[in-house]
Every structure is written in C-alpha cells, then in structure tokens.
Structure 1
Amino acid sequence: MNSDVVVLGTGLLQSIVAAALSKAGFEVIHIDNNQYYGGEDASLSVDELLEWAKVHDTTSVQLDHNLCPTAAQQRVHSISFSPDLPPKSRQYSISLAPTIIPSVGPLIDSLIASGVARYGGFKLLERVAIFDGPGNVQMVPSGKEDIFKSKELSLVNKRRLMRFLLFAGGEFEGKPEIQGREASPFLPFLRDVFSLDEKSSRAITYALAFCTSATDQTLPALQRLRRYIRSAGRYGSSPFLVGHYGGLGELSQGFCRTAAVSGGIYVLGRGVTSFQRLEEQPVTPPTSDSDHPPFDNQRPVWNLSLQEFEQDVRCSVIVSSLDRLPHDETLPLGVTPTDVTKYSFARGIVIIDTPIRFRPASQTPVDARSAGAVDVEDHDQQTATDVVDTALVVFPPSSVEGGSTVTSVSVLITGEASLSSPKNSWILHFSLPIPGERGEKSASDLLQPYLDAILTLTTPTTHEMPISPLFTMFYFENRTRIDTKEQGQDSVIIADSFSSFFPEVSDQIAIDAERCFWQVVEKLKGLGRKPKRKSQSGEEEGDNVDFLWPPLNTVANDDD
C-alpha cells in the first residue's frame, strides 16, 4: 500500500493530524497496534482496562524488543488493581487521559471547523472545589454571581476578589501591578498586590489558575486564568466542558471517522515490525495528465512492515509519537534531550457506588441540625442538591496528612450524566504530578491519602464510616512533549504533546497537532507531493494548502 503519509497511533493529536491531512487531499494510512481507537487517550470499559493493564505493565510482562513499539509499553508501569470487577463492568467508559476542556480554545475551534463536533457530546463541569478538611469543600466561584452569593466571603474580601478578577480578565500585560513580577511566584503575588487572604489566594492559585505548586510563575498563571474567565458563559456558567464517553478518546474516534470519510485508510491491531528507508532518488515532477508520480521517483521513501500483515506500507512522511519509534540508528530523529520535556504522574482510577456531596465547611452536618429552623423536608432537599455528577476537586499541597507537600492533586468526578458510567456509580480520576525522583512508594501509597479524604465526602454525617470502592487501579505514567519546532530531518515528524496543567492538556494537543500538520505539508511540498481535493466536479489536484480545516461547505458531507 502506498500513501503520502503514515500516521502511527490513534491518540487525539495523531487523529487530528490524520483528519486534517485527509481533508486537505493527501493520502493517509493510519496505523495503531491496539484494537481500539484513541491510543494513550482511549476510553475503555473495565474489562478492556484490565486487558490494557496486562499489556502495559512492565512489572509482569516481558517486552518483545523485536516488535515496535516497545517504548509505548513503558509509558505506564507498576500497575496495581483490585481483583474483583464492578457490576456492569462493560458499561463504563474510563478515560486514560482524563481532563476538562475550556469552552473557548484551540480544541473547541478545531471541533467546530472540522465538523467533528457533530460526532461528540459534552456536559458542563458542574463545580470546582478545594478540599477543606474531612467531609467538607470550599466552593470555587466561577463568576461575579457566585462571589456575590457567597456566604463565606466578607464584603471586603468580595470587593478585593472582584478587583482581581477584573484585572485578570483584561489586558494586564504592562500594567503596574505585574511589572517586575512576571516570573515571581503567583501565590505571594495575590497576597502582596491584591491583599487577598490566604484562603482566597489558595483557591485562585490551585483551582482557578490550576497551578501545580507554590513556585509557579505569575504571568503564565494569569494568562491561563484569563482564558478560563473568558470561557465562562459560552455554553453555560461553567468555563469547562467534560466530554461524553470518557472525553478525549471519543473525540479521537470522531477525528478518525472524518479522516476515513475523506479517504484515509485504517489498520488497527497491527504493530510495525520494521522501518526501512529506501535509497534516495531524484525528484521527478509529475506530468500534467498523471496522478501522483511513482514512489520510485520520490525521496525519501519509507517502507514499513506490519505484524501479521501481508502488504508492506510505503510512504513519503511518517508521523508518530516518540515512543512508537525504534530508538536506534534506523531512524535518526534529530531530537536532542533538551527538546524533550518529560512529565511523570501517579494515576488512580476508582469506581464508587455512593454519590459525592459538596458541603462547604460552614455547613457541616452538625451545623445544619443545630440550626433548628430547617425542617426535615428542607434538609433533605438541601442534601440532594449537594450531590455532584461531574465535578473537580483540587487538593493543594500539604492539604492532606501523608500527601504531597510540593504539588497539588486533581480528582475528576464523572457520573451517569457524562455517559461514562452506569446509573448510581461514579468514576474518580486521580492525578498527582511527580517532580524529580518518585522514591520507593507505589502509586497506591502516594494516592491513598487522597482517596481516603475524598471518600469522606460521600458520608451524609461525620459519624458514618466511609464507603469501600467497587474497583481501584493505580499506576505511574510517563508523558513527553517535544518542544523543538523543526524535527524529522528524514521525513519523520514527532507528534507528541502534553501539559502538566490539568485544563491545558486538550488545548495543547490541538496546538501541537496544527504545528505537526504544517510540518507535514511543508515536507510533502518539498517532495513534490500535491494534494487531491474534492470539489463539485469531482477530484482535482491542488497546489497549495491554505487552511488547517477547509471550509465545511467545500468538502463532501461526512454523512454521505
């Protein structure tokens, strides 16, 4: 099989690139060694998750170093999980890349411009809260209305908070408040410049700007916060969306579907066993009455052999994440250690069958009973409104005994309304960034204090024992992002992306996907490869690619 481009892996970044290249008119073959779409961003049932764990756990699986990819198996390690399956285990959609999506940003723009938005659904993130001691949370305001309604803030603090949010939502670059403080830590900046109290400063730092540590710099934090402030109100009061059926994995499938409709060829369940770079040949320009020139006249050309697949695949350009490529002399990637940013996380996936309740610290169960004026019916109604289906709980550093004193922990809660779990069950996704060496503790040891803490939010009174989860899985994950702008000296484009800031993951993927797309276009242009575009009169060859996504009314309907 011949193509212009081979894309390895069906993660969201690779799927966006494949869809954009296919829509631009290039011939794309999209390959994944998994039997499912989504790659490292996939959404899996519990049964599939256990199969995934068996394949990827390097502590129990002997790697086949003759089969590419091997590094993909090393992305996650030290996996532990409970032995029993929860009821209705096949009805879950558990994300391998849990995140929230800003309502305004590059990913939403790509979903709309590409038409992929029609294939996915979303739910507004109901609430963001900071853990505030056993059984209690501090609600994080999403706008002016929440600030004015808050009974926890004094009038002075409300005014100070409103002044800061007006500053953060505007064009603050160059203003005196920030001059000389751009690289200073964000948390002291809030206290010193805007006179915010400790509680408000921590809420803004870790649950509005989503800093991961007290040393995060002021200017990047303000820029993130401004994007989130401007996202509020587009689809509802919350600035964030949660994707249906696990999120990014479902969106990856949507982009793959768009690529297939535009002519992309898909090969799943087949790993690449060898990469061969064929001998360079001088470029022969195509004749006016021919299609693409023969591959023998192109340079360079790659020949890929696939596992248990009769035909080899030949292409001009390879697009792949770094961990799906052999790290040897076969592919001189032109990537130095300074180009690669590495991230390490302790991850946890927990399934429970008792709802999480958000109660402010000022309204503990004892306080509600002692108020006297609340009758049983009103109390029951108030308790019901505290239940959350889709929410985010943030644990600042040192907020839990035995937890991290350096980094914050995010816990994303998704329930039935996000179409990720059956009725009366919820998935808790734990994410703990690990700076430097992780030491000897297991992922379970690192995350257990946070699991114990969040389970206190399930009990209706402080005197009841916390529940036991239906299912748990803990593991370590390593992620990379390639920072260099010029890669792939031998027509190999590295498609890697990640962000350590929880709400930035999806938008960073969209940004890096566009960068990869234009790199591929430039490579193909230099090799004399021209796109074939669909028009009302049929298929015709074009010269230039002007857009990441062509206008929707100029391409074939994806439902045809």
Structure 2
Amino acid sequence: MSPSAPVEPLPNEPWDVLIFGTGLKQSLLACALSRANKKVLQLDHNSYYGSSETCFAHLLECDEWVSQVNSSSSPPLPFSHARIWRDESHFPTSDGYKAWRGYTLTLAPNVVYWHDRFLEVLRNAEMTGVFVWQAVGAWWVYEEERREEEKREGDGSSEAAVLGEVMAGAAVKIAKAGMKVKAGWNKGRAKKMVEEGGSAAPWTQVGVNSTAASSTTEMAPASIAASTTTLRTKPPAHEDIAWDPSLTDTHRTTLASFLRYLQSHSTTTPPPPSTTLYGFLATAFPLPPRLISHIHALTLLPTSPSETLLSLALPRLSTHFSSLGKIPDARSASALLISYGGAGEMCQVFSRAAAVAGAVNALARGVTSLSPSPTEEGKWEATLSTNEKVTASWVVGGRWDLPSSAPSMDNVRSGMKKMARGIYIIDHPLEVLLNPKYADERITPGGCVLTVFEEKNGMPVYILAKASSPGECPTGKSLLYAGMLLSQETEVEERSEEIEKAYLVLDNSVKKVLDRVSAAQSPSSLSPTEQQSEIHPSNLIPGIIYKLLYTQYGHPPTSPSTTMSSTSPTFSDSSNNVITISDLPLDLSLQGEILIEEVLRVYENILGLGRGEGVEGFLMVGEEARRLMREMEGE
C-alpha cells in the first residue's frame, strides 16, 4: 500500500483507454495495452495501488484502512467488519512506531502453481525475473483423533497420514520427465548458498535426532502428533505406490486408479455437471471420508467436499500433481509465492511497467459520473472526483471503481458471497512447518499451506503460512493468512452474528495449528543440543501478537469456461465500449487461466482482434521500452 504523490493536473489530451482501478487485472491490462501502443490513463480513487488486492507496508496503514472500511462516508468497498487486535507489549507507540515497521501484509494472499498459465505468460514476456519467488513447501491437514470404535471400522485413517505422499509420489512417477525449465525463479539464491558453502537444513521428523536424520537424503513425512489431535503433512515422495506398506491393498489400488484417471480425465466422458467431488470419489473410486478430505484439501477450493463440484476439482488436482518435481532446487514443491506483498506487489510492478511503456497512472482520483461525450462521437466523458474531465474511446473498470450508473453495471454486485479472512502475526518462525522436505533441496520454502476442516459443516479453513524470507515480516516472526467462505449471500440482510462466529472459527483454527507446533517443540521432541540452547527458536512458544480480521465480498472460484461465458458476472458486454472486469475470486490459488483469459478478451476487444489473435503479442515489449526498463532496474 504505497502512499500517493500530491495530486497534479492530468495531461489535457484524449485517451484510447481509461482504466479505473489498480487491481491485478486492471494493472496487467494497462501494461499490455501500453506495450501495444495504446494511450492509457489508469486512475484509482484510493490513495494506494492495488485496489482490493493491495498490500500494507506499515502496520499504521492497516489502521487507516480499517477506519476507511468501517466508515459510512467512504466509497463502496468489497470489505466490511474490519478490526485489529495487537499485543501492546510487542507494538508500543512510545518508540515512534519502530516495531510497527518491517511488515508487509496483503489483502490477497495467493499461491501460483508452476504449471499455471499466469506463470507461462510471464515467462513468454520475460517478466519472471521482475519478481522474487519463494517455494511453497508442505501441505498440512489438521485432524481430530478418532474414537477407538471408529478406528475399528477401518475408514482409512491409518492411511490418511500418507495419502498425500503416496499420491504425489505416484504423480511424480507417472509424469513425463525431462522437461527443461529455467532456474531463474529463485533470483540466484541457490548459487549464493553454494558459493558460501551453505546448504539447506535436512528434513527431520519431529522428535527424531537431527544428526541421525541428516544422514538420509529423503526423509519420511513428519506428523506433528499428540494424544488427541494430529497435524499431518503431505509432501511428495518417490516410493512406488505398489510398495507403500501403510495402505491397504484396496485403497492402494483405488488411489492408483484415481491417479490414472486424473491424468486422462480431460479426454474421457465427463460425469454429470452436478457431480460433486465427494460423491464421485465415494462411488467411482470408493475411498473413506478422511482420505477424500485430504484429496479435497489439495484443490484449495473454499467449499466443503460434499459441495465442491468435480468439474472444478479435477483441473486443480491435475495442476497440483503435474507441477510437482518441476521447481528447480525445490523438487517437493508444486507452487510459488511472490515476495514483498504477493498480488499487491504484482499490481505495482505492472502499473510501473505500463508507465514505462507510456501510460499515465494517477491515484486519489475516482470517477463520479460517466456519460457519452457531448463533443466527440463514439467517446466517453468521465468526471473525476477532482472535477477534472477526461475522454476516452474505451472505459474499463473494476466493479467497485465504476459508478453504479455506468453501462454494464446492472446487477454486477448480485450473487456475491462473503469470506471471513484473518491476518495473524506470530511471534515464532514456525520452522517445523517450513523446513525443506529433502536434504538435497537447496531452497528453504518461504511458506506452506494448512487446512483445518470446520467441525460442524466440513467447510475448509485454509491457512497460508509465510516465513520471514519473503520479506514480509522480521526474522523470528511469521505470518498466517486464514480464510473461510461463508454460506450467506449478500442479497440477504447481513448478520453480524454469522461473521462473528466465522472470526471465532478462524481464531480457533490458527490456535489449533499453533498448539500442534508448540507440542511438537516441547523438550521431549528436541535433541539434547536444542534442549540446552536458551536461544533456539524451538524453545519459543508460538503466540499471536497481532491480527487483522475482515470480511470480503466477491465470487467464489469458477471454471474457466463458466467465467468466460457471456452470462458470467465477471465479464460484461463490451458493445458500448464500457467493460466491467471482476476482482480476483475468493481463492487462495491465483488461477491464471481465468485471470489471463479475462484480461486477454478485453485486450483483444480494444485492439479489434479476433478471439485468440492477441495471445502471441500479449505483454510483449518493444526495444525502446526494454531499454528504459533496464535503466529503471539499474542494469
């Protein structure tokens, strides 16, 4: 969340495209159109870049944002019920807010899969090096221990701990090898470690002596276990599924069959559209509920397994497994993070790139009215909050940026869902969750994903944990981003009680994870050397020292075909040259296929290209712009 410069008069000239909002889609579009030699003016009524995907570079900015969200006089925002709690002993105000610095909190936490189309577009445009990437390590699932009578029923809980590793291992074995990939995603960090004689810490099981464990190249997955609860990880392994002794013969065969189906599902006759993931697996590939929950956790879809459509789940599972083993120096990872603010960082980078290509960016300027130009036929005139008037042939904006009277805005806010979100600062590095899985991995993950299923309705609470390495919190601290979809639609009168209960679920989910980490780092689970060390981070008890809770409005994830249909609420008719584009969906996965397709369609409409004709030149930059970019980057 970068502060705006003093408001200066805009250039008095006609524009090809007027873009309202600096969210990820608007900024990506501004960059692409500017590089296609269109005159672009990008405005935002906020005083910061990123719109609803912004990031805060100082905790004081969080306070300002909360006041803005809760103010009745503020422009409409896709947020409500924002609040902050902080431990005053960690964040005093008497020292000039020094402790409040060093944090970057994002409103749009996302992971990007290695085989995601967004990353493919960045590679083609030679823009991957603009960002600093971090690997996403383990994928954890929190489980309540079952009663003894449930265990005797043989519902597969003994296999739950190894489900992820078996499926991932089989996927790696099945996937085609030999794909050449660029290793530039980690910005040379692996090379630097080798030059300095360093190496990544080996993966060790919780409670196993670290010296003994380091002698093995590939370690078994860890289970953070206690007498009543378990936090299980699902890292990839290379054991053949046929030789894994932890699975029954029936479940081993069933999982292998499902993986084969997953590879070829796009060429087979699809099940009925209403088929759910749970219903499909329970019938076509009979698996117990717990194993189905583990499979569902890999989709990152915010609905419960019984509500998640199979048509949404299968492509995500395919992307997850096909990405395993492909990331250089982090072969156990399937996804990446962008450092320094995630989506908020991307918004600023693309807006700056648009400016380099000739666009003009201006903050603290909203649009108060939009109407056909009285003097220029076929153009639109926008009156801004600064009383300036600008004209353009095309107008593009986010749903929260265009005035409600603008064409194509009818019913654009209908059908939205609510998601309860929480950002937690933890006074602990949580290294037991973030260690590399294999001793030969030279990159320590910058984050991991945890899933806690809500007890009453089975809704997943996804938690993205981030270490200090992405540059978003000080050393010794970590960040947890938690989110849970609420079932209540926004057309119905808001119920604060429902939101309060959701916040309580988020708090409890985070506390469950921290309790397991604390139990795993008890003196009995540490090596003798660690037990004697008073400064070892494992001797610290993880605790919440700050949290930002808020509710976000938006659309849940959809499939690319649904999103790009003519009736989709995320893409409006462009016959009048006014286009409304959506915010990012309420999703932890970036889903670049949907993101790129929507932006590409707008790009092609404005350039007068046919469907698919804009793919080849999308985001490509001319030589002069390349020179300016190199100068800005100090090359």
TM-score (norm 2): 0.68
Give the equivalent residue in structure 2 for 1:321: 398
The separation in 2 between residues aligned to 1:484 and 1:345, in whole angstroms, is: 18
Q: 1:111 to 1:555 in 2, by over 3 A?
A: farther
Q: CA deviation at 1:105?
A: 1.9
Q: Deviations over 1:445-504 (max 9, x none)?
A: 342221221221330459899743110111111124853655244321101143344324
Cα pair 2:44 2:401 within 8 Å, conserved: no
**1: distance between equivalents of 2:543 and 2:299?**
31
Identity across matched positions, percent:
21
**What SS does the aligned partner of 2:322 have?**
helix
Of 88, 105, 112 in structure 2, the residue corresponding to residue 101 of structure 1 is 112
- For structure 2, the residue ranges without an aligned partner over 5 or more in a row are 1-11, 92-97, 145-227, 524-539, 556-562
State the number of aligned residues.
478
Question: Which segments of 5 or more consecutive residues in structure 1 lack a partner in the other structure?
Answer: 65-69, 280-295, 360-380, 399-403, 526-543
Is contact 2:135–2:445 with CA below 8 Å preserved after alignment? no
CA contact under 8 A between 1:9 and 1:32: conserved in structure 2? yes
What is the correspondence of 1:15-414 to structure 2 with a 5 Å cutoff?
15-45=27-57, 46-57=59-70, 61-63=71-73, 70-72=75-77, 75-83=78-86, 84=88, 86=91, 88-133=99-144, 136-142=230-236, 144-145=238-239, 153-154=247-248, 157-174=251-268, 180=271, 183-208=274-299, 210=301, 212-213=303-304, 214-235=306-327, 236-279=331-374, 296-307=375-386, 311-328=388-405, 331-333=406-408, 335-336=410-411, 341-356=415-430, 389-398=446-455, 405-414=457-466
Flag the 1:457–1:546 CA change in 2: closer, same or farther, 3 A.
closer
1:513–1:180 Cα change, 3 Å? closer
- Determine the structure 2 residue equivalent to 1:7: 19
Cα deviations by residue, 1:507-536 (Å, 9 ceiling, x for unpaired): 43233222222233349x9xxxxxxxxxxx
Deviations 1:426-459 (A, max 9, x none): 1110110011257413253342221221221330
SS in 2 for 1:49: helix
Whether the aligned pair in 1 keeps the contact of 2:15 and 2:41 (CA below 8 Å) is yes
| Matched position secondary structure for 2:418 | strand
TM-score, scaled relative to structure 1: 0.76
C-alpha distance in 1 between matches for 2:425 and 2:514? 11
Does the 8 Å contact 1:274/1:306 carry over to 2?
no
What code does the residue aligned with 2:231 have? V
Query: d(CA) in 2 for partners of 1:56 and 1:488?
Result: 31
Q: Is the 8 A contact 1:351 1:426 kept in 2?
A: yes
Q: Cα deviation per residue 1:298-331 (whole Å; 9 max; x = unaligned)?
A: 4123233243x7x532212111011112213xx2
Cα pair 2:572 2:580 within 8 Å, conserved: no
Q: 1:473 aligns with which of 544, 548, 555?
A: 548
SS of residue in 2 equivalent to 1:246: coil
Q: Distance in 2 between matches of 1:13 and 1:501?
A: 15
Closer, same or farther: CA 118–312 of 1 in aligned 2, 3 Å: farther
Asked if residue 426 in structure 1 is aligned to residue 478 in structure 2, the reply is yes
Equivalent residue for 2:518, pick from 448, 459, 475: 459
State whether structure 2 residue 573 is matched by structure 1 residue 487.
Answer: yes
CA shift digits 1:398-421 (9 cap, x unpaired) = 2xxxxx514211000011122221
- Check the 8 A contact 1:413/1:427 in 2, yes or no: yes
Distance 1:495 1:181, change over 3 A: closer
Which position in structure 2 is the counterpart of 1:508? 594
Give the superposed CA RMSD: 3.3
Report the CA distance between 1:79 and its aligned residue: 1.1
Alpha-carbon distance change, 493 to 23 in structure 1, aligned in 2, over 3 angstroms: same
Amino acid at match of 1:448: D
Aligned mates of 1:9, 1:355 — CA distance in 2:
35
